[in-house]
Structure 1
Amino acid sequence: MSQTKLHLQTEKTVLQQEENTMNVVLLAGQSNMEGAGNFDALEPSIKQRLSKVASRVMFSNKGEKAVPLSYTLSPHKKEKYGFDKAFGPELMLGVTLAEKFPKKKFLLIKTAYGGTSLYGAWAPHWTAEKAKISEKGYKQNLPLYKIFQTNIQNQLTLLSQKNVPYKILGMAWMQGENDAAKEFTALTYHENLVEFIQRNRRDAKVTDMPFILGQINSTYGRFKKGPEVVRQAMVDVANSKKNVSIILTTTSRSWDDFPKHTDNTHYNTLGQVRLGEAFANKLLPFIK
């Protein structure tokens, strides 16, 4: 076989492998990662874009079976906002990545619970004592880091059983509002975030796995300096750790960058559209 034919055959094999590989993105956090976007209020053009790529973007939410990317049904959103077809940043993250890489397949694995802290529920070294003083109600008994890792491993095991090769591209993290609400959780956010990133990278078996932070801009809590402490901690971690990037947000209550619902806490439909696009655009430079 000539060198030219051998080269072309090798190139074809590589391309086939790339097309068969499932590109995995991990997503986690609290309510703004859960998402309060109204799917029915999306512009028709966005729904059309989604329909064109949904077959190449699978989505597993909170350990559920992976399905083509779309909305999730939420009785809580129905009660609070009047709609039950909700979405978070995964929607436009998936659409944006799929459009950028028309030959690639994606799997988005998300675990998010509103009103949870990195100090308590999300701590890799979870303890009942820390959860009790930082979480409320049933969330005191939610070891979310362990749950998240179990959800990830279950999805990856299914891929392996089907002989589908996979590659973990990175992780999106939208969380911190609850830590900002208390002094002891806010002041330890920096060190807790560093540990969280390190543990996720270790458990994903991806050294220096790209990690995208969504900077919080909450305004509630007993510790008035809390939001700024956590916001700065995120910036400092992004500036000091390899392959960590941050989506900066405004503190202006006009929320011009990522619009919110009238509760001034949760991103609305447009806010979630922009947040998903921002996560994708921050992740793109790390994807080969």
Structure 2
Amino acid sequence: MKTNLLSVNNIFTALIGISFASFAAATGAQPLKVFVLAGQSNMVGVRSEITALPENLKTENPDILFFDGQTWAPMKPGNTEAKGFGPEISFARKIHDAWKEPVGIIKHSKGGSMLASNWSPRSTKENLLAELLARVKAAQAAREIEIVGVLWMQGESDAVNEKRAALYANNLDLLIERFRSEFNNPALLFLCARVNPPEDRYPTAAIVRKAQEECTYAHYRLIDCDDLEKVGDNLHYNTRGIIELGNRFADAALKPKIAATP
């Protein structure tokens, strides 16, 4: 009889456990893993065309979520920017396919923005960094999330003059430190796409590229963009270029972390 009672108790306990697990899953008790995307026009994806997207990237996936500033919803081309799409479309799909679990995207980017001013933690001008951090807080209020990485596609505007370019290395360090402090994660993954604007119009591009290449922070990874396809201005990536940029961000994010001092 004791054996039977134990069996009943075990079954009851198991059912309770399953019920709680189901409730946790239904209520989103597990934090949603989220990547934060920031930068300027190539992060926006200003020259992308939704009509040129492969069909598998046009469809919504309920496990790939985008925060629009107010609510979380399934991500799709056209709801991440006023029109078109950025690298988040292919990036999030590849991450989800690898992880087999929900993934979230928070994005804030603006064409022509500068690290020296708009993204600087010390700037008092229009501060896109402050706006992005406010968006993250709103996303955290909407549901429980875990920020697992930052994607950075920016630098062309700082490559226009020597003063801004010379400050890029220090400003990049400050940006990484600010993100890690705000998100309370000294080992936060930071993925930086190396810019490659035409040097005839961006004469100090080499200085910015060098700063991006020589950043020595742990868990910092550089994305090579030199062979990505562009439109006729030789500055902005076309649809295929944006898709490949997202894939390269994902490949870098999926590499295992190497233990190091942040």
Match of 2:252 in 1: 282
Q: 1:157 to 1:177 in 2, by over 3 A?
A: same
Gaps of 5+ in 1: 78-83, 129-141, 160-164, 251-256
Alignment partners' CA distance in 2, 1:182 and 1:94: 34
Query: Could you state the TM-score of these two structures normalised by the residue count of structure 2?
Result: 0.83
Aligned to 1:153: 137
**For the residues of structure 2 that align with 1:261 and 1:145, how far apart are their CA atoms?**
28
Corresponding residue for 1:197? Answer: 176
- Per-residue CA deviations over 1:100-134 (Å, capped at 9, x if unaligned) read 122x1111000000001000111111134xxxxxx
- 1:91 aligned partner: 89
* Cα distance, 1:19 vs structure 2: 8.6
Asked if the contact 1:40–1:85 (Cα under 8 Å) also holds between the matched residues in 2, the reply is no
Question: Mapping of 1:65-214 within 5 angstroms?
Answer: 65-72=71-78, 85-102=83-100, 104-128=101-125, 142-159=126-143, 165-214=144-193
Structure with the larger helix share? 1
Question: Do residues 56 (structure 1) and 63 (structure 2) align?
Answer: yes
Cα distance 1:45–1:105, how it changes in 2: closer, same or farther (>3 A)? closer
Identity of aligned residues (%): 28
TM-score (norm 1): 0.76
Shift of 1:182: 1.1
Q: List gaps (5 residues or longer) in structure 2.
A: 1-5, 258-262
CA distance in 1, matches of 2:98, 2:65: 16
Shift of residue 43, structure 1, vs aligned partner: 2.1
User: Matched residues in 1 for 2:165 and 2:70: separation?
Assistant: 32
CA shift for structure 1 position 64? 4.9
Distance in structure 1 (CA, Å) of the matches to 2:157 and 2:37: 18
Residue 211 (structure 2) aligned to one of 221, 224, 233: 233
State the aligned residue count. 241
Q: Please tell me the root mean square deviation across aligned C-alpha atoms, in Å.
A: 2.9
In terms of mean alpha carbon deviation, does 86-95 or 34-43 score higher?
34-43
Residue 21 to residue 271, structure 1, CA distance change in 2 (3 Å): same
